[in-house]
Amino acid sequence: MRTVEHFIGGNAAGGGSRQHDIWDPNSGEVQAKVSLGTGDELQKAVDAALAAQPAWAATNPQKRARVLFEYKRLVEANMDELAALLSSEHGKVLADAAGDVQRGLDVIEFCCGIPHALKGEYTQGAGPGIDVYSMRQPLGVCAGITPFNFPAMIPMWMFGVSIACGNAFILKPSERDPSVPVRLAELMKEAGLPDGILNVVHGDKQMVDAILDHDDIKAVSFVGSTDIAHYVYQRGTENGKRVQAMGGAKNHGIVMPDADLDQVVNDLSGAAFGSAGERCMALPVVVPVGDETADRLRDKMLPAIDALRVGVSTDPDAHYGPVVTKEHKERVENWIQTGVDEGAELVVDGRGFSLQGHENGFFIGPSLFDHVKPGMESYRQEIFGPVLQIVRAKEFEEALALASNHQYGNGVAIFTRNGHAAREFAARVNVGMVGINVPIPVPVAYHTFGGWKRSGFGDTNQHGMEGVKFWTKIKTVTQRWPDGGGDGSNAFVIPTMG
């Protein structure tokens, strides 16, 4: 059986006596193993990074950008391989898997412009004969801890910007689908990145704690569930690290009475159920304003849900595939039962779904709840599955308050033809990323990604210029040059080599 190893110092590396199963979500069978490392493997990666980073930091930004240009070309050339590998371990359909890779590449494209992004500031004549300038310098050795749901995009979001800025990077991907992160590192080596600048170590909490406690790791970026994000932020900052930790989400879609409901239903079909709902920017809560809007929306959603095709990840006609593991399937189904127990109306029940020939796969059909109340635990928590909840609001202010008062503040959307309502909503809602007639408002790579409240811990967001700020430290220089030589004369003398 295939074993996924660590990637340290430019080479595959074994280590760690423990292993973790890598499942095929379509069949429900184990397809590979991944080695779970310890502090020993992490130390090897840190040693390799420390040895390589000074020379990489001294490499001018334009040459670093050329490596990233070549990397972009190689990833594009291997897109089909990467998408198939990602799909086989995660379960998302091939089109979603390719999109996962492409959204990561968007950030790599941004990183190709790193010479411009690293330009500092300059003030001539800040005082008599005094000039002041600033420069951005790399932190040293940095690390990223990434989740299972985007095994290509989120690693590239992290290591792309960090490496472009001159750092060495240690990636700890999810042990559920680790093959694509390793392949991405191999392609970076092929693109010309020096050995030791990008390392991949596998592990569980033991490895996470080792990263958070290691003195030579200066910054950590994390994406995952909220409780773990909070833990990573606390432990990392207590150890003097710079930390950004992105947590869970419960994104709302506000539907105003004037919205184009056909378009809303089409958007919800993809945003709520696409990738089996395993996205922090999914849209699992829809808030129609007024009962008439809610009734019309519900009537239109039912045939749209019925038309959704759940299939194996290689089925080109499938809208979404299985969830990642048996345990996650059980977790989602338990949340559906919780919603029923709390008194929400289960309009469509996706439990018990079985795909012929793949009866042991981790499939869940689409589910729809109506009359969900804000006090319900199934509303308060992130389900992370193909479940859409309708929470009815009487008026705009109530809808605004639902999104603003929720413990999560990652993303939100409003569907309306009214420019004033959209502008008012965008200005007042207490959420980090807003879509106006856009169901999944993930910003483009040259802007920045990050949520508020319990969706994000730390002061700096991911990618864009915020990413550059996170992965660098700023140094400010104040300089004055004397007019004369050491004899106190004012004569201007051109220094000579002699």
Catalytic positions: 280
CA distances, 193 to each of 63, 121, 144, 187, 367 (Å): 10, 29, 18, 9, 46
**Which candidate, 283, 305, 274, places its Cα nearest to that of 389?**
283
Do the beta carbons of residue 31 and residue 87 sit within 8 Å?
A: no
Give the dihedral sign, CA 68/433/331/333: negative
Cα 327 from Cα 403, distance rounded (Å): 29
Residue with the two structure tokens 């006609």: 317
* E strand intervals along 37-195: 122-127, 130-138, 141-145, 168-172
Residue 177's contacts (CB-CB under 8 Å, 6 or more residues apart) are 22, 86, 89, 90, 148, 151, 324
The residues, any chain, with a CB within 8 Å of residue 125's CB and separated by 6 or more, are 131
Neighbours of 437 (CB within 10 A): 15
Q: In sequence order, what are the residues at sequence separation of 6 or more whose Cβ sits closer than 8 angstroms to the Cβ of residue 435?
A: 411, 412, 413, 414, 441
Token look-up 């800025």 returns: 165
| Rounded-to-integer distance, Cα 44 and Cα 175, Å | 19
Query: How many CB atoms are closer than 10 A to CB 179?
Result: 20
Q: Is 125 left (phi over 0), alpha (psi -120 to 50) or beta?
A: left
Query: What is the signed CA dihedral for 229, 231, 235, 241, rounded to 10 degrees?
Result: 10
